[in-house]
Amino acid sequence: MTNSMSNLVKILESFNPFVEEIDEKEIKITVSPDKVVAVLETLKANGYSHLSLMTCVDWIDDNQLELVYILFSWEDGGKFLVSTRIDRSNPKFVTVKELWPVARFYEREIHEFFGVEFEGNDDMKPLFLELWDERPPLRKDFDPRDYSRKKFPDREYEKDVIKEAKIFRGEING
Amino acid sequence: MVAAYKALFNLVVAFFLVLSLEGIGRKITARIQRRIGPPWYQNFIDLFKALSKHPFSNGWIFDFGVLMALGGTMATAMVIPMGSAFWTPFPNSDNFFVIMYLFAVGALGMAMGMVGSGNPWSSIGVSRALTQMLGYELPYLIVISSTIFHYKTASIHKLIEMQRGGWNLLVMPLGGIIAFVSLMGMLGKKPFDIATAPAEIASGPMTELSGKYMGLLHIMHVFAIFVEISLFVDIFLGGGNFGWYLVKFIVVWVLAVMISSVLPRFRIEQMIKFYWGVPLGLAFLNALFVLLGWTL
Amino acid sequence: MAMQELPKKDFFAPLKAWKFLGKRPVTIEVPNKVKREASDRYRGFHINDWSKCIGCGTCSKICPTDAITMVEVPGLVRDHGKLPQRPVIDYGRCSFCALCVDICTTGSLQMTREYIHVSDDAEDYVYMPTEKGLNAKRGLYEHGKAPLGWIKDENSDILDLVRVKMPMEEPEVRVKSFIEIVKGYSKEQAQQEAARCVGCGICTYTCPEHMDIPQYIESIYKGDLEEGLRWLYRTNPLSMVCGRVCTHRCESSCSVGVRGEPVAIRWLKRYIIDNVPFEEYDRILNIRPEKKGKSVGIIGSGPAGLSAAYFLSTMGYDVTIYEANARPGGVMRYGIPRYRLPDEALDKDIAFIEALGVKILVNTKVGQEIGFDEIAKKHDAVFISTGFGLGRSTRVPGTDHPNVKQALPMLKMIRDYLRGDGPKPPVPRKLIVIGGGNVAMDISRSMARLQTMEYGEVNVHTLSLERSFEEMPADMDEIEEALEEGVEFHPGWGPIEIVIEDDEVKGARFKKCLRVFDENHRFNPQFDENNQIFIEADMVIEAIGQAPDYSYLPQELQEKLEFVRGRIKTNEYNQTAIEWLFAGGDIVHGPDIIHGVADGYAAAKGIDMYLSKK
Amino acid sequence: MKERTIWEQIADSFRSRSIWMLHYCTGCGAMELPPTMTARFDMERFGIAPMATPRQADILLITGYLNTKTLRRVIYTYEQMADPKYVIGFGSCTINGGIYFDSYSTINRLDYYIPVDVYIAGCMPRPEAILEAFNYLMEKIRKGEADGWKRYRENYDWYKQNQIRSLGEVYVHDEFHE
Amino acid sequence: MGEVKLFFGPNHPGMHGNFSVHMYVEGDVVKRARPLPGFLHRGFEKLMERRYWYSNIALIPRICVPEPDINEACYAMGVEKIAKLEVPERAQWIRMIVLELARIANHLMAVGGIGGPIGLYTAPQWGTADRDRILDIFEALSGARVYHMYIVIGGVRKNLTPRIEDMIWKTMDYIESRLPDYENLIFKNRILHSRLKGRLILTREQALEMGVTGVGLRATGVEYDVRKVDPYLFYDKVDFEVPTATDGDAFSRVYLKFKEIPQSIKIIRQALEKMPQGDKVNVPVSKGSALRRIVPKGMAYVHIESARGEYGFFVVSDGKNKPYRVAVRGASYPQGLYGIEKYLPGTRIEDVPIWLATMDVCAPEIDR
């Protein structure tokens, strides 16, 4: 952990974070959902102003969705993974589009793929999919293979491959 | 009767000459781009193929527009003198202004038909094409006017004859260069191919054209090129007998192709600014010189 | 910091591009004038060497596109370590990643440099690769002439060829006592070893008992030992024993072993048993059969007997085992030395079988304590698995001396002694063992241990007819371990006589063996009479094979039974010519424990069929 | 197959030597199109040129996988093209789904929705293979065997029904919330 | 003239890849614009969860087609970070060479590609043809032209042979010799100046607020390059510069890409010289066959500087033989979605393809 990062972690201690060090320049901070925005604001004010990625992980066994905000500082090259867990059966969270305008699209994407509602972000039209008629596809209980079988038929070959192979090998004459 | 044969011959020459030259132009561009390029007769194949396809029509305005464009341009091509008085089908009506008016019929027909297709890209393309016309026509007409003023005739074969002593290009080099720049615009060569800029507005006016319509418009385009370059050769390069005329025609075309292959295109408003800037000023200067009699 | 100067405008600079008008174009005139060959690592269409391919299907498992399916080819034989199936590749799926080539267990699947295949018929895109490769339409090469492209090398290989090292006692330590040599895998080691398995299932076909090997290995890999135990007990009630002393024929056919070391299947099996507490067995396996009210008698509590007892009792039969010795287990109890199979291991397996309600009557020698007829009368069916209890002798001069011993009685004696059941066996200072099989190894190493315990040094000479370690029937690791422990081997010598002076064994003389088998692969040794050696010894132990003892069978039954080379002939359900009499184990198939278990399983099925019909 | 008139034969021979392809990158196979089009392989040698709009194009290149969203546009595009028109399927994805066989958003076989004249094996096909495919298509056109467009007309109902099955509806919406 | 609704793409020659911008225009001026991605959505993040750690290498290069190697490197480095795996030094150098070659290839195409939207068709012809020489190196090295599947977890798949090294040296010399031609044709061209200079300006504040990385950010005068700020592989052991400019316009963005080519050549030459010899270029992440190699529990975010900016992989493992979740940060996500909506209104139709080209909006990496 670099000096500036450990200082920041100290500042963040008031939010009761669970801190994990992934490597020297990458720290994961897990906080409760109500403190996420405050943590993000603090980090943004302290140089971690670049939102590299905002994403979601479906922990189906815990019935939780984990939201991860990855912040990067162009000054000292450190990364903070701010993470929180929300209820999977009724996923709701607040938007951070005021902090990072591009988060609007990340939220739109997460809404589409995980079904999370973001309060304050009303632009929730599907971004990538058209006329989607199933549960959000990146949830763990969605099986794409089944869906694909149902909607997009596979080709069924009729050729006798064994006979062809035997002809190639000279075992039988074709 | 002879005039009719000559006019038909005009069309035949225009058709084969320009289509071959287009192919050669593609070959030259290809060489500059470090590749081999299509065979020189590729454009004939393209044209016949287009004519063989089963097209879509977008209503009678569209059909009529395409026919009008083709008809107008063909008519223009028929009256163009090919370098000498002998190869002038209609010696009495090869007046520059007649040609300009006839030519406008074709352009209008195209605009009408393309707007009739109802595609937004076509409409944008047509509006661009008309704007572009405004751009290059102004300096061009001023230069041509000063030429007409200088030689005191608007008949093209007479202009050719009067250049026996020296090419008009050498008489008024400034005017010649500006006319060439305008010619680039007329031919739709880069940097002035704004009307059909593929990366911006699909293929502009032609967006909705398919099959035969595409072929017909290609033929119209062939005759238009013939008219435009012939005018330049006749008015500024002094025509010449048929052979010389062909050589000059080819040189002008190749030069245009070569310049075109190393330049990107303007934006539409830049093009207007460009034409109405230096070329227009120089055209006026040229007119002034002609008025003052300061020609070479 | 590198702030860039932006370039200035230059009217004529672009015109410099005109210079290319006079230069040659860079165009490569494919496909008409030039045929462009791909690079030598190119990942083109597949070829598959059918003589090398074993049909393991690993390629189809790794394939990220599900392009490879294994298709059974009629006409291919299911051989040791080979499945009669070959991959079929769908070029409507393939992404040309070459992972199938990299993981191929045999290296038979490779890629060519052919990359053009153009057709209007989608059926042309499915194909079973052969040595000639794809008959590419409009391809660069003639069919079968495409050069090789992507080939696996050490870096791209994604199969793990090196076994996880099994922790073992050092030779200096282990030779001093009879403690178990192999310590067993830890959890991490077992999972790592299980991860090497590709789950092809070739071993299942090779295993006489057709155990669900890939399944229980996968259970270990997933860390679910209870599931693993269930898989084991589905086919093998003696897993504890087999996990230690099985001849592991499965490993010889393992597809990973084609190019590297096979997966340690035996030790993984042992890992499951070692790590599931015995008290949990009942809950995990949950065997609650419906009683059928019929009973079966089993003579002999060796592997076959115990196995048959287990399967019969899971089917709901009442089973009674008659055992001549004081403890059940047969060869497992009295033959295999303790350092390989401790009593506790065997006890665990037997205890579970007993817990199912199997009665084991020890010290009940059929023909002495109880008559065969009586058993036949008492039970609805009888299964005999009495094994090969008699030793064979070389019958050279001097073998009738009391210090010329048979291996099996000696081994029994040693085990009884170690258990505290019997007297101490005689320990010679110098010993000759004749034989090259596993029994010879067992006795050599047992005696080496006794010698170390007694005198602090090893002096055992083991001589065999076979002329090299590879030819010897004993397992290679047994031989290696014996060497480590100080046993001296003399392969390729046949005995002439035991030298006896003053009624004491002084040693034995041997002659060079030139060959063991003749052209017809029959046992017919030839010797070089001039090449002889003499080895000193106080004792000679013969371990050249065993023979069965059928004396307990009544004469009229023996006449009805068919014998082939001393073994009883049975059908596939181990039924003899007498329909209520079933037989298994060494007296039917031999020569190892797993065959015995398999016989027990087959016989149980046969008995069930016979009894349910009755 | 019906006998072609002499005019059709002549037309086919012209069609085979002037193939205008629609400049539309539907999938990753489009990455090998720039090299094919440009100086290194220069497909203009065979009279193949990119065209900006479907109206002018003769050939539709389905360069790899198609997801449902693109498939809608492809069907639109294909129907906008003037007959005779041809389709080349690039790579594994158009034949049987390719590496995306289990994806929830990509189709598995192209000829279920529009007729395909030539398939190219490879993932993605190299420029040489693409040119070979073009040559093959030219031969087919010359012989009058490239009749995908006729099949589409004849089996229109079948194709439409398949399209509806996989897509739900073929209509294209715009992105403004209006 | 009223507002006209236009669908710019997906099948539009000015469109980079399969992407669409729906907009209202008045005359030639864009009034409102909305990006419509998703034409290349294949559900990578889902598909990767269904495949083994190792067999995913067949899938990941497809996320960004013009520069596939960054995906492989990012994924491999992410997994190695979770597993704390030591990669052989030679493999690291080879990775660097591959990444820089890919950067040159992408830049050659992008620099030439600017000729597409503005009509200078000679430039893309040259650029793509020269890029093909680099693809030849890739073909010799990895056995495929575009989808190399070369950088795998634990190293690279095959060793770099002296013959290929020689090929790289020669190709680098060739490309260096071609650079003046590009400078003359493209960057000294008056009309190109007039088309690109001062157009589509993005100020530093706007760029940082939007989250733009790569040349889009560096053209505003800051030297923010992941290779310098958060060095990975051996970028801290080689000497190179990060070119920057102050204008923030379309021209400087393209020119910076052009100026990165010689820097990449410099890195490759240093790497070839400093690289240790050896045969081992690959270590397994754990024992077992590729079907069952497991990665310990954990999560990590790895980002590298792609030709278009910060490209990142967020990898989550639950200790099994398949990834639990992989999320991808496409480098052009901000400029391709938010940027289009926010900064295109007010520009002209001609500027739309220029935005897409100079900001390197790469549809497959946005859609995934």
**Please, are residues D36 and D43 in contact by the beta-carbon 8 Å criterion?**
yes
* A155 in a structural domain: no
DSSP secondary structure string, B145-208?
Answer: HHHHHHHT--BHHHHHHHGGGS-HHHHSHHHHHHHHHHHHHHHT-TTS-GGG-HHHHTTGGGGG
Instruction: Look at A137 and D104 and tell me if their CB atoms are within 8 Å.
Output: yes
**Please, are residues C570 and C588 in contact by the beta-carbon 8 Å criterion?**
yes
Residue E315 pLDDT greater than 80, yes or no:
yes
Residue A101 pLDDT greater than 60, yes or no:
yes
- Please state the rounded mean pLDDT for residues E130-143: 89
| Rg of chain C over all Cα atoms, to the nearest angstrom | 32
Looking at every residue in chain B, the average pLDDT score rounds to 84
Where does chain A have alpha helices with state H? Answer: 3-11, 36-45, 103-114, 144-151, 161-168
Residue D126 pLDDT greater than 70, yes or no:
yes
Residue C431 pLDDT greater than 60, yes or no:
yes
pLDDT tens profile C555-609? 887 888 888 777 888 888 888 888 788 888 888 876 778 888 888 888 888 888 8
Within 8 A of B209 by CB-CB distance, chain D residues are: 55-56
Tokens 């009805």 belong to which residue? C560
Closest-approach residue (CA) in chain C for B264: C14
Q: What is the dihedral of CA B265, B269, B275, B276, to 10 degrees?
A: -170
Give pLDDT, residue D176: 64
Q: Which of C67, C92, E59, A146 is closest to D93 using CA atoms?
A: C92
Interface of D with A (CB under 8 A): 68-69, 72, 95-97, 101-109, 112, 165-169, 173, 175, 177
Residue D1 pLDDT greater than 70, yes or no:
no
- Please state the rounded mean pLDDT for residues E259-271: 90
- Please state the rounded mean pLDDT for residues E43-72: 87
Which of D39, D47, D56 has its CB closest to that of B214?
D56
Closest-approach residue (CA) in chain D for B39: D45
**CATH code, domain carrying D148:** 3.40.50.12280
Distance from CA of E181 to the nearest CA of C (A): 7
Residue D177 pLDDT greater than 60, yes or no:
no
Retrieve residue D142's tokens: 């010359």
Phi, psi of D50 (to 5 degrees): -75, 145
Phi, psi of C547 (to 5 degrees): -135, 155
Dist CA B227 CA B185 (whole Å): 14
Retrieve residue C71's tokens: 């298709």
Distance from CA of C161 to the nearest CA of E (A): 8
pLDDT tens profile B13-50? 889 989 999 899 988 988 888 888 888 898 888 888 88
Instruction: Look at C20 and B33 and tell me if their CB atoms are within 8 Å.
Output: yes
Say which DSSP state C297 is in: E
- Please state the rounded mean pLDDT for residues C375-395: 81
- Please state the rounded mean pLDDT for residues E43-67: 87
Looking at every residue in chain D, the average pLDDT score rounds to 84
Tell me whether E142 touches chain C (CB under 8 Å). yes
Share of chain E above pLDDT 70, in %: 100
Tell me whether D58 touches chain B (CB under 8 Å). yes
Domain hosting residue A76, numbered range: 3-131
Residue C145 pLDDT greater than 80, yes or no:
yes
Q: Is C367 left (phi over 0), alpha (psi -120 to 50) or beta?
A: left
Residue B90 pLDDT greater than 60, yes or no:
yes
The mean-pLDDT minimum among A71-85, B105-119, B277-291, D8-22 falls in: B105-119
- Containing C468, the helix (H) or strand (E) segment is none
Within 8 A of C93 by CB-CB distance, chain A residues are: none
Residue C191 pLDDT greater than 70, yes or no:
yes
* A149 in a structural domain: no
pLDDT tens profile E150-209? 898 888 888 888 899 999 999 999 999 989 888 888 888 888 888 888 888 888 888 888
Retrieve residue C58's tokens: 């690993």
CA C212 from centre of chain: 13
Give pLDDT, residue E27: 75
Tell me whether E3 touches chain C (CB under 8 Å). no
Retrieve residue C203's tokens: 């071993």
Surface of B (123-152) touching E: CB under 8 A: 123-124
Distances (CA, A) of C308 to C367, C567, E77: 22, 19, 55
**Please, are residues D70 and E15 in contact by the beta-carbon 8 Å criterion?**
no
Give chain A's domain count.
1
Instruction: Look at D109 and A151 and tell me if their CB atoms are within 8 Å.
Output: no
- Please state the rounded mean pLDDT for residues C505-529: 81
* A77 in a structural domain: yes
Who's near C584: CB < 8 A, 6+ residues apart? C304, C305, C308, C383, C384, C385, C570, C574, C596, C599, C600, C602, C603
* D65 in a structural domain: yes
CA C380 from centre of chain: 35
Dist CA C409 CA C413 (whole Å): 6
> Does A touch B (3+ CB pairs < 8 Å)?
no
pLDDT tens profile C71-93? 888 888 777 778 888 889 888 88
SS3 C117: coil
Who's near E161: CB < 8 A, 6+ residues apart? none
Retrieve residue E200's tokens: 């589509």
* A137 in a structural domain: no
pLDDT-derived band at E113 (thresholds 50, 70, 90) equals confident
Dist CA B174 CA B286 (whole Å): 6
Q: Which of C537, C375, C148, A12 is closest to E143 using CA atoms?
A: C148
Beta bridge partners, C110, equal C47
* D53 in a structural domain: yes
Tell me whether A122 touches chain D (CB under 8 Å). no
Which of D108, D168, D177 has its CB closest to that of A148?
D108
pLDDT tens profile C305-341? 888 888 888 888 888 888 888 888 888 888 888 888 8
- Please state the rounded mean pLDDT for residues E233-247: 87
Q: Which of B78, B64, B89 is closest to B3 using CA atoms?
A: B89
* A86 in a structural domain: yes
- Please state the rounded mean pLDDT for residues A69-90: 87
Retrieve residue B294's tokens: 């300061």
Dist CA C449 CA C175 (whole Å): 5
Residue C3 pLDDT greater than 80, yes or no:
no
Who's near C509: CB < 8 A, 6+ residues apart? C495, C496, C497, C499, C532, C533, C534, C535
**CATH code, domain carrying A32:** 3.30.460.80
* D177 in a structural domain: no
Which of D39, D101, D128 has its CB closest to that of C30?
D128
* D176 in a structural domain: no
Share of chain B above pLDDT 90, in %: 1
Closest-approach residue (CA) in chain A for C66: A145
Residue A174 pLDDT greater than 70, yes or no:
no
pLDDT tens profile A40-59? 888 888 888 888 888 898 88
Domain hosting residue D16, numbered range: 6-167
Q: Which residue has the higher pLDDT, D133 or D176?
A: D133
Within 8 A of B45 by CB-CB distance, chain D residues are: 14, 17-18, 47
Give pLDDT, residue C2: 65
Give pLDDT, residue C119: 87
CATH 1.10.230.10 is held by the domain E42-367: no
The mean-pLDDT minimum among B5-19, B71-85, C167-181, D71-85 falls in: C167-181
Give pLDDT, residue D175: 63
Within 8 A of D140 by CB-CB distance, chain C residues are: 120
Share of chain C above pLDDT 90, in %: 0
Within 8 A of B29 by CB-CB distance, chain D residues are: none
- Please state the rounded mean pLDDT for residues C260-268: 85
Phi, psi of A23 (to 5 degrees): -150, -170
Give pLDDT, residue A51: 87
CA C589 from centre of chain: 16
Which of A155, A161, A169 has its CB closest to that of C127?
A161
Give pLDDT, residue C456: 81
pLDDT tens profile B192-220? 887 777 767 777 777 777 778 888 888 88
Tokens 């320009």 belong to which residue? B18
- Please state the rounded mean pLDDT for residues A98-113: 87
**Please, are residues C348 and C358 in contact by the beta-carbon 8 Å criterion?**
no
Strand order in the sheet with E325-329: E298-306, E309-317, E325-329
* D137 in a structural domain: yes
Distance from CA of B206 to the nearest CA of E (A): 14
Retrieve residue E239's tokens: 């000497």
Dist CA C404 CA C394 (whole Å): 11
Residue D178 pLDDT greater than 60, yes or no:
no
* D23 in a structural domain: yes
Give pLDDT, residue E15: 76
Distance from CA of A171 to the nearest CA of E (A): 33
Q: Are strands C567-568 and C431-434 parallel, antiparallel or unpaired?
A: unpaired
Dist CA E341 CA E326 (whole Å): 27
- Please state the rounded mean pLDDT for residues D95-112: 87
Give pLDDT, residue E265: 92
Give pLDDT, residue B62: 82
Within 8 A of D45 by CB-CB distance, chain C residues are: 27, 29
CA C385 from centre of chain: 22
Within 8 A of D5 by CB-CB distance, chain B residues are: none
Instruction: Look at E119 and B199 and tell me if their CB atoms are within 8 Å.
Output: yes
**Please, are residues A22 and E299 in contact by the beta-carbon 8 Å criterion?**
yes
pLDDT-derived band at E18 (thresholds 50, 70, 90) equals confident
Residue D2 pLDDT greater than 70, yes or no:
no
Looking at every residue in chain A, the average pLDDT score rounds to 85
Give pLDDT, residue D174: 66
Who's near C350: CB < 8 A, 6+ residues apart? C301, C306, C328, C329, C360
Tell me whether C61 touches chain E (CB under 8 Å). yes
Tell me whether D122 touches chain C (CB under 8 Å). yes
- Please state the rounded mean pLDDT for residues C56-71: 88
- In order of their start, the domains of chain C are 29-159 (3.30.70.3270), 171-284 (1.10.1060.10), 292-389+560-613 (3.50.50.60), 390-546 (3.50.50.60)
Q: Which of C49, C124, C140 is closest to C89 using CA atoms?
A: C124
Give chain D's domain count.
1
Who's near C129: CB < 8 A, 6+ residues apart? A165, C45, C46, C47, C48, C86, C87, C89, C109
